[in-house]
Structure 1
Amino acid sequence: MKGSKSAVIELVKTRDFITTINRLIEDKNAKITVYDNWMPKSSEFNKEAELKNFLKYNFTPELYSDIVKWWMDVDTTTPNWDLISTCTINGKRGILLVEAKAHWHELDKESHGKSLKSGASAGSIKNHERIGEAILEANTSLKKTYPQINISRDTCYQLSNRIAHAWWLASQGIPVVLVYLGFLNCKDMDYNGRRLLKKDEEWQTCFNEHAKKVGVDTIINNWIDCGASKFITICKCL
Structure 2
Amino acid sequence: MKGSKYAILKMVESSSFLNILNGLLKKSGATVTTYDNWMPKSIRYDKEAELNDFLKYNFNPELATAITEWWLYKDATTPNWDLISTCTINGKRGIVLVEAKAHSYELENESKGKPYDINTKSDGTKENQKQIGKAIEQANIEINKKFSGVAISRDNCYQLSNRIAHAWWLANQGIPVVLMYLGFQDVQDMNDGKNRLFTTDKDWQDCFKIHAKQVGVDKIIDKNVDCGKSSFVIICRSY
TM range (shorter): over 0.9
For residues 123 and 193 of structure 2, what CA distance do their matches in structure 1 show? 38
Answer yes or no: is the 8 Å Cα contact 2:116–2:155 preserved in 1: no
Residue matched to 2:231: 230
Q: Once superposed, which parts of structure 1, at least 4 consecutive aligned residues long, lie more than 6 Å away?
A: none
**Structural mapping, 1:106-145, within 5 Å:** 106-115=106-115, 118-145=119-146
Say if 2:171 is the partner of 1:170. Answer: yes
User: How far does the alpha carbon of each residue in 1:49-88 deviate from its partner, in whole angstroms, 9 at most, with x for none?
Assistant: 1111000000000001100110011022210000000000
State the match for 2:55 in structure 1.
Answer: 55
Alpha-carbon shift at residue 119 of structure 1 (Å): 3.3
1:126-177: CA deviation from partner (whole Å, max 9, x where unpaired)? 0000000000000000111211100000000000000000000000000000
SS of corresponding position for 2:87: strand
Q: Provide the C-alpha distance between the structure 2 equivalents of 1:52 and 1:233, rounded to a whole number of angstroms.
A: 20
Note if contact 2:146-2:226 (Cα within 8 Å) is conserved in structure 1: no
The answer as to whether partners of 2:171 and 2:177 remain within 8 angstroms in 1 is yes
Partners of 1:115 and 1:108 in 2: CA distance? 16
Aligned-partner Cα distance in 1 for 2:115–2:5:
23
Q: 1:25: which partner in 2?
A: 25
Alignment map for 1:160-199 (pairs within 5 Å): 160-199=161-200
Task: Give the Cα separation in 2 of the matches to 1:105 and 1:17.
Answer: 27
Partner of 2:150: 149
Is contact 2:180–2:235 with CA below 8 Å preserved after alignment? yes
Q: Name the CA distance, whole Å, in 2 between partners of 1:29 and 1:150.
A: 26
Instruction: Give the letter aligned to residue 203 of structure 2.
Output: E
- Separation in structure 1 between the aligned mates of residue 160 and residue 28 of structure 2, nearest angstrom: 21
Structure 1 distance, partners of 2:121, 2:212, is: 30
* Cα offsets for 1:87-134 (capped at 9, x unmatched): 000000000000000001110111011145643311111000000000
Name the SS of the counterpart of 2:214 in structure 1.
Answer: helix
SS of match in other structure, 1:146: coil
Mapped partners of 2:69, 2:48: distance in 1: 21
1:66 equivalent in structure 2: 66
> What amino acid does structure 1 have at the position aligned with 2:238?
C
Q: Which amino acid aligns with 1:48?
A: E
Paired AA for residue 16 in structure 1 = S
Kindly provide the amino acid, as one letter, of the partner of residue 9 in structure 2: I
Partner of 1:99: 99
Q: 1:221 corresponds to which residue?
A: 222
If the length of structure 1 is used for normalisation, what is the TM-score? 0.98
CA distance in 1, matches of 2:148, 2:142: 10
The residue type equivalent to 2:114 in the other structure is K
The offset of 1:28, in angstroms, is 1.6
| Ranges in structure 1 where 5+ consecutive residues have no aligned partner | none
How far apart, in 1, do the equivalents of 2:23 and 2:81 lie? 20
Amino acid at match of 1:119: T
TM-score (norm 2): 0.98
Contact 2:147–2:219 under 8 Å retained in 1: yes
SS, match of residue 73 in structure 2? coil
Of residues 223-232 and 27-36 in structure 1, the stretch that sits farther from structure 2 once superposed is 27-36
- Number of matched pairs: 238
Aligned partner of residue 26 in structure 1, secondary structure: coil
Question: Contact 2:172–2:228 (CA<8 Å) still a contact in 1?
Answer: yes
